[in-house]
Structure 1
Amino acid sequence: MSAAVVEQVVQARLIVSTHRSALLRVTLRYRADDPLAVRMGFPAEYSLDVEPELLDTPQPQPEVEWVFARQLLATGLDLPTGDGDVHVRPALGRRTMVELRAPEGVALLQFDEPELRRFLWRSYLAVPEGQEFSLLDADRALAELLG
């Protein structure tokens, strides 16, 4: 039996400057076999580390994926949170800001908060909050970490 996967495509606004932004589609994913994490997949053309000449090839480029704690996303809907590469905070007008920090730069994204709540609700149907650790496979996680 395969583990449950929750996937939801949402629209985000990439904040470029005070007066400029770009709309993009973001794929949110949650996998019951990795119960502590959520994933955000972005189109390759929005990545700062994809070689420009690769974007001109006819083959679609793989999306750029950020992985971070489901709890960080849940907390960030109501309170500013994050102390590493990912920061999440509520914003005016039922919006949520997600800041992604990498050596190549910082991306600031604005999401509709109800869309993120819907995704989290669906992830809690797959793995209820507080039951994540009962599903962890420590041997598999260690094998993945050590490659």
Structure 2
Amino acid sequence: MQELSIDATIRMRYLAHPLQCIPLKGVFSYRTSDPLAVRLELFSRNLPLSTWTFSRDLLMNGLGARSGEGDVEVWPSVEAQPRTLYLALSGATSVAARRRALLCCSAPAAERFVQKTVALVPPGNEELGLEAALAALLS
């Protein structure tokens, strides 16, 4: 089975401080070889900053309500316009220290990306993709 993929470049902002907003480029990726996950690569001035992999369901659910616990949380803005999606990314840099980055992007842009992933692999059919990939490996 041939792997299919979807990539979407979305303008993002790192909310470093209430008065400081840093523009970033986010590249969301989806691969049929890993149908339960999405990947987000962050860039500043075309230099890679970090890569996060998390559940596609978390992103889909976060478009409508707060979703996620732990390292990745996603939620929509409460304001009507512009519709914004927030992502909180956390990671431990040591046992004692925990860092958290708050990002935001256009909710409609994230929705378009999610809709394309759903068109490629509808929710509930992810296992079929995994089974086909496993069968291809074993044959």
AA in 2 matched with 1:35: P
**How far apart, in 2, do the equivalents of 1:123 and 1:99 lie?**
22
Structure 1 segments of 4 or more deviating over 4 A? 60-63, 137-140
For structure 1, list consecutive stretches of 5 or more residues without a partner in the other structure. Answer: 47-59, 141-147
Name the SS for the 1:2 alignment partner.
Answer: coil
CA RMSD in angstroms, aligned pairs only: 2.2
**How far apart, in 2, do the equivalents of 1:107 and 1:125 lie?**
30
In the TM superposition, what are the counterparts of 1:1-147 in structure 2 within 5 Å? 1-43=1-43, 64-91=50-77, 92=79, 93=81, 94-104=83-93, 105-137=99-131
TM-score (norm 1): 0.78
Name the SS for the 1:107 alignment partner.
Answer: strand
Number of aligned residues: 126
**How far apart, in 1, do the equivalents of 2:72 and 2:66 lie?**
11
Question: How far does the alpha carbon of each residue in 1:10-36 deviate from its partner, in whole angstroms, 9 at most, with x for none?
Answer: 000100011101111100000001000
Name the SS for the 2:70 alignment partner.
Answer: coil
Q: Among the aligned pairs, what percent are the same residue?
A: 31
**How far apart, in 1, do the equivalents of 2:122 and 2:70 lie?**
25
TM-score (norm 2): 0.82
Structure 2 equivalent of residue 145 of structure 1? none
**How far apart, in 2, do the equivalents of 1:5 and 1:41 lie?**
15
Q: CA deviation at 1:2?
A: 2.6
**How far apart, in 2, do the equivalents of 1:11 and 1:66 lie?**
16
Q: CA deviation at 1:99?
A: 0.3
**How far apart, in 1, do the equivalents of 2:15 and 2:48 lie?**
22
* Higher relative strand content: 2
